Structure formats: C-alpha cells, structure tokens
Structure 1
C-alpha cells in the first residue's frame, strides 16, 4: 500500500473511533430515565398545626404565624434530630418530639413519682416508653438517670413487662441488621439496651431495642449484670 493510501486508511480509522466514542457520550439531560439532580429543600412558608407550641418551645414569639426566622429555627431543630422533611414546618412529628422533651425535663430527679416501676425488686432498670426515659433504681433509691432513650418504632414496639438481662455483649454485631450494637444487654428475645450514634429523638425509632447514648450505655453496663431486672411500661408516642 502506498503512502497516500496508508494515510487515508489511518484517517478513516481515526474518524471511525471518534464517531464511536461520540455515540457513547450522551448528555445526562437527554438520557432516558436519568434522575434529575435533587433540589435543595426549601423553607416552608406555611403555618403548621402546632405553630404556636413549637414557637414557644424554641423561645420565639408565640404568635402562631410562620415567619422566615421561625422556619430557620425549626429547621435547625429538625436537622439536629433527623426529622424529615427538614423544611421548618411545625407539624405533628416535630411537636411530638418537643413535647416528649418537655415531659423528660419535667421528670427531674424523681422519675418514678407515679410509682409505676416496682420498688420491691431490688435493683431494676426502669423503661418508661411514654416519656422515652430510663433509669436504674434500688428500691426507692435512684442510682442512675433518668436519661433519654429511643425505643421501638410503630410495628416494632418494645415489649412491656418485667424482664431479666440474659445476655451481655460489649461489642455486639447484629447479624439481622448488620450494625454494631455496643454495650448490648439483652433482656427480651433479641431486645437489648445498647448505644447508637444518632440523636435519642431521631424518628421513627429502633426495631425494638432500647437505644441509648454511649455514655449512658456504658453506665448501664457497669450497673447491671446477667439476671438484673428490667421493667418496661407505657407506650411510645406515635405507636
């Protein structure tokens, strides 16, 4: 083959490769079924059904009317605790979370004032699902807490009643949910106290376990043992 023929053949080969590559590069906007970029969540301008209560909780003017400043404050609260959509709307889940916090604060250092957790069992870990609180008491003497918890979500409710710690695993791995469960203390058929890395007020809740902050779970690990009593009562809001 002469030099001119070889040159033409080389040009044709380069052109064919370029055409092939061009056919593979399709703009995303023209791709059938391509997902559009997610739009940033906007701040809600709507007044929510719990506007006044939420404003009061956040220390804002409780006029019951949504403002840009209200929305910013509500969004900050929602973002901190993983409440979605994080758009600053004063809805049911946001207010339910705040109301639970109010009840937890009101418990003070006398969480068993109503006498719902037994005082005749010696050392017992009390779990109040209604207020999402737990504490450890010896008879009537408070040993630790109360501290906030995150119990089972709707459909996975933490079961109530008198239980006993039957297994402990300091660095447990869940083969069911494929997650670490540090400081696990099992007391009811797979349900355990254990630490998690999310807010205690993060909805919708656990798959039945009593989630705790790491520092609290460590304290429970030191204060309880195999055979320790656990008493669970009440009902989690929203279940």
Structure 2
C-alpha cells in the first residue's frame, strides 16, 4: 500500500512540475524571453499553430462541408467542396488569395501569384482556425469564408506595397480607462484611452506550447532595455502584464514576420510605435488579451 501511495505522489509531482515549466516560459523572475524559437516555426500568420494565434476567429466559425451525424460516406463525399486553387497554381486569382490572406495577418510577404509552400501553409493555418479540413488547398468553402472576411485587394495590395487590414473590433473591456487592447483575431494591439484608439500596431503571440494568456491584466513592471538571461535575447520596451509575459519589441518579428513565435510574450515589430507606447503606458494600466 505504501508503494502505491508513493508512486501516485511521484506521478502527481511530475505532472505539476510540467505545468509550472510551461507557465514560466517568460518569467520576470528568471528573465523572460519573447524571441521566436527556431524549433517551432510557423505558417505565415500562424506563428506556430493555428490554435495559438490565428486571426479572425468568428464566433460562428464551425466545420464546413462536414457530414452530418449519421450521414453515409457516400453522402459526405458528394458534399465535399470543389478545389478552387492549390499548390502549383499560378495567376491573378492566386495573387488575390495572397493579398486577402495578408489583410487578416495570414500572409506576410509580397503577393507573387504563385501558390507555393508559403501560401499552402497560410491557407492551412487559416482553415485550421476555422474548423475546416487543413488541406492547404483553397476549396470553395475556404474561399467563400475568406471572401466574407476581407475586401477586394487594391492595386497597392496586389503589388505588396500596402495592406488594408480590417479595423480591429475592440473588446467591451477595453472601452474604459487606459488599455492595451490586444486582439488575437486581428493580431493587433490598440492603445485605447477612454474608449478612443490612440494607436494600433501588429503583434505576434506565443506558440501552442507556450501560449499567450488571455484575460484582463495590469502592467506591473516596465523595463526599457530588458535582456533575457535564459535565451540571451533583447526584449526592448518590455511591459509585463502576466507572470513573465510582456508586450515588447522583437527584432525577430521585424525580420521574419509571422514565420516564428514568442515564448508567450506579445511581440511588436514596429520599434517606433512600441517606443512611443512604452512612454505612454503607466504601471497599473489595463491589458486585455482576447480573441
């Protein structure tokens, strides 16, 4: 009996230790890190997984084209959506696909009109977040969903000169006081004061293994020139809001875009904007992270 109790105790202890290890991936006590991990690369717009930071997760997103309970395999096959375009395709429609994906943060490159590995990965991430089959091919269901969420690309967008992102929808909790309003849906951070948006910037989140926590928090520490002693990476303009998770500038995000992820922190790639925000945010200001 004693041997059984001891085995159970050890198992529980190891499980608890594993949970703690994940939770302190960016801890101020152990000097946080927010740079992307080469070991967990991600699809453009989906740093390391569709579940960790995928854009525009509408509340009505449900698997489309799936067979109803009890439906036969033949029925399911007949209901399968047609393929609109896939890996290897070329042309203006592919360029439009890439530009539309860029609008919602899934494609972080200049539209080329060639459906290659980057586009396949972006489509796959987009599908996964919306409960669609993660094939990487743009079928009719995927295409129609993307069309409903984006606008017709301008000439500038098709040329990769601009990206017209939809205005982020502010969470109701962001409408009072001074708030860093961080949307995982649009992948943006909006600095909001008394319900009015002062500035907006692109952000990147943690991977599926080190996810950025969601909820309402407060800034409890600021460190202008912070450096991680664990990963030996710079974290300029760090503003900590939950344990070791912070909003900070990331040179890796600036260089690689969404082809990477943080260890749980909220990465900003525009150094000028994060520097200005750092000077405006006070200790105690609210942080809201939401879908």
Alignment TM class, shorter chain as reference:
0.5 to 0.7
Could you say which residue in structure 1 is the equivalent of 2:185? Answer: 130
Q: How far apart are the structure 2 equivalents of 1:90 and 1:225?
A: 40
Q: How far apart are the structure 2 equivalents of 1:57 and 1:130?
A: 19
Could you say which residue in structure 2 is the equivalent of 1:151? Answer: 205
Question: If you compute each CA radius of gyration, which structure gives the higher value, 1 or 2?
Answer: 1
Could you say which residue in structure 1 is the equivalent of 2:259? Answer: 203
Could you say which residue in structure 2 is the equivalent of 1:176? Answer: 230
Could you say which residue in structure 2 is the equivalent of 1:161? Answer: 215
Aligned length: 161
Unpaired runs of 5+ residues, structure 1, are 1-45, 60-69, 76-86, 235-239
Q: How far apart are the structure 1 equivalents of 2:207 and 2:89?
A: 22
Q: How far apart are the structure 2 equivalents of 1:56 and 1:206?
A: 29
Could you say which residue in structure 1 is the equivalent of 2:87? Answer: 48
- 1:231 equivalent in alignment to 2:263: no
Deviates more, 1:159-168 or 1:196-205: 196-205
| Distance change >3 Å, CA 89–CA 205, structure 1 → 2 | closer
Alignment of 1:1-239 (within 5 A): 47-48=86-87, 54-58=94-98, 88=117, 90-93=119-122, 96=125, 105-108=164-167, 111-112=168-169, 115-120=171-176, 122-145=177-200, 147-199=201-253, 201-213=257-269, 214-234=271-291
Asked if the contact 1:50–1:90 (Cα under 8 Å) also holds between the matched residues in 2, the reply is no
Give 1:93 shift: 2.8
Q: How far apart are the structure 1 equivalents of 2:89 and 2:114?
A: 12
Unpaired runs of 5+ residues, structure 2, are 1-84, 100-109, 127-145, 152-162
Deviates more, 1:215-224 or 1:180-189: 215-224
Could you say which residue in structure 2 is the equivalent of 1:40? Answer: none
TM-score normalised by the chain length of structure 1: 0.57
| Distance change >3 Å, CA 88–CA 140, structure 1 → 2 | same
What is the CA RMSD across the aligned residues, in angstroms? 3.4
Give 1:225 shift: 1.5
Q: Deviations over 1:32-66 (max 9, x none)?
A: xxxxxxxxxxxxxx94299786421457xxxxxxx
Q: How far apart are the structure 2 equivalents of 1:73 and 1:198?
A: 26
Q: How far apart are the structure 2 equivalents of 1:95 and 1:222?
A: 39
Q: How far apart are the structure 2 equivalents of 1:118 and 1:126?
A: 6
Q: How far apart are the structure 2 equivalents of 1:123 and 1:49?
A: 48
